[in-house]
Amino acid sequence: MAKGLNRILLIGTVTQTPEMRYTPGGLAVLEVTVAGNDRVTTETGEERELAWYHRVKMFGRYAEMLVEQLTAGTPVLVDGRLDYRSWEAEGGRRSAVDVRVDRIEVLDRADKGDEQTVSDARGQERLREGLNEVVLIGNLTRDPELRYTPQGTAVIRIGLAVNERYVSRGSEQEKTHFFDVQAWRELAEWAAGLKKGGGLFVMGRLVNDSWTTQTGERRFTTRVEANRLERLARGPGRSGGTGAPAKQAQTGGVDIDEGLEDFPPEEDLPF
Amino acid sequence: MAKGLNRILLIGTVTQTPEMRYTPGGLAVLEVTVAGNDRVTTETGEERELAWYHRVKMFGRYAEMLVEQLTAGTPVLVDGRLDYRSWEAEGGRRSAVDVRVDRIEVLDRADKGDEQTVSDARGQERLREGLNEVVLIGNLTRDPELRYTPQGTAVIRIGLAVNERYVSRGSEQEKTHFFDVQAWRELAEWAAGLKKGGGLFVMGRLVNDSWTTQTGERRFTTRVEANRLERLARGPGRSGGTGAPAKQAQTGGVDIDEGLEDFPPEEDLPF
C-alpha cells in the first residue's frame, strides 16, 4: 500500500462561536464549522459559486489556546488532514469525513471590504473567496465504474484507502482512512482504466453532498471532487530491493478490503 | 515570528539521468532537475504555457533508493520544501532557492498519450501539464514597495522569512529561509498595505527568472509568483497567554533582519 499523503487547506469563516467539550478522559475537543464558497468553472465556461461547510476538529491544549479566538464570522486558514470515522447505526454502518486540524490561523481580512462574506439562510457568514484544496495519495479500494448522469455527463466514483502511521504510547500505530473521490467528464473517462489496489495521487476540493435514498431518507456525505488524478508507478525500487516484495511490504500490514464491504455505500448512490 | 509553513508540490519530468554524488562525509546527494509547463491565464484572458525547471535534491538512503528510477524523461510527483542557500561570491553575496524532497513518486502516465511532453532546445523533455504549487507562511522582511512596469502593470516584490525547526543531534535547531515573492495587479496593490514583520500566507507557483544587470551580467533567480496572499492576524492567544508576549516568543529567537541587507538584491531589479 502506498504511503498515505493526506492534506487539506481551507480558508473560510467560522460559522458559529463554538463550545468546548471534554471527553470522559478530560481531553479538550473543539469543533467548529468552517464555510466558504468555491468558484468553479462549469463545462459551458460559466463561473459558479458553490458553498461548502466543513467540520474542523482540534484537541487538547491547542483547542484550549484557540477557543477564545474562533468566534462566529472569524476568517481562518486551516491546515489539516481528512479524518474518516465509521460507526454502527440503525439501518447499517455509517461513516463521516471531517477535518482534523494540524494548524489553524486567524486571518486579518479587515481591509478586504464588506462584500467578502455572504450570509446564509441561518444567518451564518460564509467566505466568498474560500480556499479548499485536498491532496491525497492512497490506493483504490475497487475497480471504479464509469457512469453517466441522465444528461449524459461521465462521472466516476473512486474509493480511496489512505493509510496513516503515528506513534501512540511508544508504539507505531496504523489507521486506514476511506475517502470517496469523484471525477467528471474526461477525467472520469481516464479514471475508468484504474484498477483496485493501484496507487493514486488526487488533488481536488472537499465538497458536501446530499440526496434522498429510495426509502425517502435524506443522507449527507463529504467527498473529494477531483480536478487532478495521477497514477503512481509500481516501481521495484519502492521497497529498496529487487524481485517481488513480500505481501506485508506491499500493503504496509493493512488489508485494503478491511471494512470495505459498504464503502462507498453503492445502494445510496444518487445516480 | 510566525511558525513557518513551507511546502511545494511539483509534477514534471526529470530532464537528465542524474549522477549520484557523495559529500566528503559520505552522505549520498542526488540532484535532479524537474521540468514542466504551467498553464497561466493572462490579463487579456489568453492561456499561455510557461516553462519551469527546478532543482530538486534528495539525500542519504532515500537518494540511493531512487537513483535507478529517476532517468531522463521520467514523470514524477515531488512533495518537498523550498530550501534557501546563500554564499559569498565575487561581486557580493549570492543566494539560490532549490527544492528539498520529502517524497518523490514516479508516475505512470503511459496512457496519457505521446503529446504529454514537449522537447526543449537541449533535447530535454518537459511535461506539458505540470503541477507547480507553493504554500508558505512567513514574515515580511521589509515594507514592500509597489512598482509599475513600463506598460503600467502593478507589481510588488515581497521578501518573506520562513523559519524551520528541526532536531539535529538531539538538539532543536532553527533555520530561516528567505524567499522572494512577487505579485501582480490587484494582488500587488492590496499587498502594498503590508508591513515589515507581519505574518503572511502565500500560495503560488515557483518560477525561474533571468535578467541582465547594469554591468551586463546575466543573473538567474527562483521566486514565488503569488496567486493568493492572506495576512495573518496577530492574535493575543497565539502564544497561549494574555498581554504582550516577550520578544523572544514573538520572533522564535530569530532576528528577521539577520543576513537581509542584500535580500532581495534591489540593485539587480529588472524594473
DSSP assignment string, B73-89: T-EEEEEEEEEEEEEEE
Residue ranges of chain B whose CB lies within 8 Å of a chain A CB: 2-3, 5, 9, 11, 61, 65-66, 68-69, 77, 79, 103, 105-109, 111, 131, 135, 137, 190, 193, 199, 201, 203, 228, 230-235, 237, 240
Question: Is the model's pLDDT at A88 over the cut of 60?
Answer: yes
Comparing A41-45, A61-65, B81-85, B171-175, the range with the smallest average pLDDT is A41-45
Distance CA A79, CA A101 (A): 6
A11 and B109 within 8 Å at the Cβ level: the answer is: no
Q: Which chain B residues are Cβ-neighbours of A80 within 8 angstroms?
A: none
CATH number at residue B19: 2.40.50.140
Question: Higher model confidence: residue B262 or residue A51?
Answer: A51
Query: Measured at the alpha carbon of residue B40, what is the angle toward residues B34 and B46, in degrees to the nearest 5?
Result: 145
Of B77, B232, B240, the CB nearest to A201: B77
| Tens-digit pLDDT profile for residues B229-265 | 999 997 544 443 333 333 333 334 344 444 443 444 4
| CA B37 to the chain's CA centroid | 16
| Tens-digit pLDDT profile for residues A97-131 | 999 999 999 999 988 877 899 999 889 999 999 99
A 10 A CB-CB count for A213 gives 14
Beta strands in B144-185 (DSSP E): 145-148, 154-168, 171-184
Question: Higher model confidence: residue B239 or residue B195?
Answer: B195
Q: Reduce the DSSP state of residue B242 to 3 states and report it.
A: coil
A32 to A116, A191, B104: CA distances (angstroms) = 20, 34, 34
Q: Please, which residues have CB within 8 angstroms of residue A112's CB and are 6 or more apart in sequence?
A: none
**How close, in Å, is residue A218 to chain B by CA atoms?**
37
Distance CA A103, CA A58 (A): 9
Distance CA A86, CA A170 (A): 26
pLDDT of residue A210: 83
**How close, in Å, is residue A108 to chain B by CA atoms?**
5
Residue A259 burial by Cβ neighbours in a 10 Å radius (0-12, 13-18, 19+):
middle
Of B11, B79, B234, the CB nearest to A230: B11
Residue B266 lies in a domain: no
What chain A residue is nearest to B65 in terms of C-alpha separation? A240
Place of cell 479514471: A191
Which three three-digit cell numbers place residue A132?
479548499
| Tens-digit pLDDT profile for residues A180-198 | 999 999 999 999 999 999 9
Distance CA A32, CA A17 (A): 8
A 10 A CB-CB count for A66 gives 23
Q: Which residues pair with A160 in a beta bridge?
A: A140, A179
pLDDT of residue A268: 42
Residue B259 lies in a domain: no
Range of the domain at A151: 5-261
| Tens-digit pLDDT profile for residues B21-41 | 999 999 999 999 999 999 888
Q: How many helices (H) and strands (E) does chain A have?
A: 3, 14
Residue B264 lies in a domain: no
Q: Which chain B residues are Cβ-neighbours of A230 within 8 angstroms?
A: 11, 77, 107, 109
B169: left (phi over 0), alpha (psi -120 to 50) or beta: left
pLDDT of residue A235: 53
Average pLDDT of chain A, as a whole number: 86
Q: Please, which residues have CB within 8 angstroms of residue A186's CB and are 6 or more apart in sequence?
A: A154
| Tens-digit pLDDT profile for residues A134-145 | 999 999 999 999
Of A103, A190, A232, the CB nearest to B105: A232
Q: Reduce the DSSP state of residue B114 to 3 states and report it.
A: helix
Question: Is the model's pLDDT at A240 over the cut of 70?
Answer: no
Q: Which of A103, A27, A120, A35 is nearest to A75 (CA)?
A: A35
Task: Report residue A259's pLDDT band, with 50, 70 and 90 as the boundaries.
Answer: very low
Q: What is the mean pLDDT of residues B142-165?
A: 95
* pLDDT > 70: percent of chain B: 86
pTM value? Answer: 0.87
Residue B78 lies in a domain: yes
A233 and B66 within 8 Å at the Cβ level: the answer is: no
H or E stretch covering B237: none
Residue B117 lies in a domain: yes
H or E stretch covering B59: strand B47-59
Check if the beta carbon of residue B129 is closer than 8 Å to that of residue B116. Answer: yes
pLDDT of residue B216: 86
Residue A86 lies in a domain: yes
Q: Please, which residues have CB within 8 angstroms of residue A221's CB and are 6 or more apart in sequence?
A: A97, A180, A208, A209, A210
Which three three-digit cell numbers place residue A49?
459559486
pLDDT of residue B112: 86
Q: Please, which residues have CB within 8 angstroms of residue A106's CB and are 6 or more apart in sequence?
A: A69, A70, A74, A75, A76, B232, B233, B235
Residue B56 burial by Cβ neighbours in a 10 Å radius (0-12, 13-18, 19+):
buried
ipTM: 0.86
Find which of B67, B108, B111, B129 to mutate to test the A interface (most A CBs within 10 Å of its CB).
Answer: B108
Q: Reduce the DSSP state of residue A207 to 3 states and report it.
A: strand
Q: Which chain A residues are Cβ-neighbours of B199 within 8 angstroms?
A: 105
Number of domains into which chain B is organized:
1
Q: What is the mean pLDDT of residues B144-169?
A: 93
Question: Is the model's pLDDT at A254 over the cut of 90?
Answer: no
| Tens-digit pLDDT profile for residues B145-156 | 999 999 899 999
Distance CA B167, CA B57 (A): 20
A107 and B232 within 8 Å at the Cβ level: the answer is: yes
B131 and A79 within 8 Å at the Cβ level: the answer is: no
Of B107, B199, B201, the CB nearest to A231: B107
Q: Which of B73, B98, B72 is nearest to B19 (CA)?
A: B72
Q: Which chain B residues are Cβ-neighbours of A103 within 8 angstroms?
A: 3, 5
The CA-to-CA distance between both ends of chain B, in Å, stands at 30
Which three three-digit cell numbers place residue A17?
462561536
Distance CA B55, CA B97 (A): 9
What chain A residue is nearest to B198 in terms of C-alpha separation? A108
Q: Which of B26, B1, B60 is nearest to B246 (CA)?
A: B1
pLDDT of residue B235: 53
Of A106, A199, A240, the CB nearest to B235: A106
Residue A266 lies in a domain: no
pLDDT of residue B73: 95
Residue B258 lies in a domain: no
Query: Measured at the alpha carbon of residue A111, what is the angle toward residues A108 and A117, in degrees to the nearest 5?
Result: 80
Residue ranges of chain A whose CB lies within 8 Å of a chain B CB: 2-3, 5, 9, 11, 61, 65-66, 68-69, 77, 79, 103, 105-109, 111, 131, 135, 137, 190, 193, 199, 201, 203, 228, 230-235, 237, 240
**How close, in Å, is residue B157 to chain A by CA atoms?**
20
Backbone angles phi, psi at B256, to 5 degrees: -70, -10
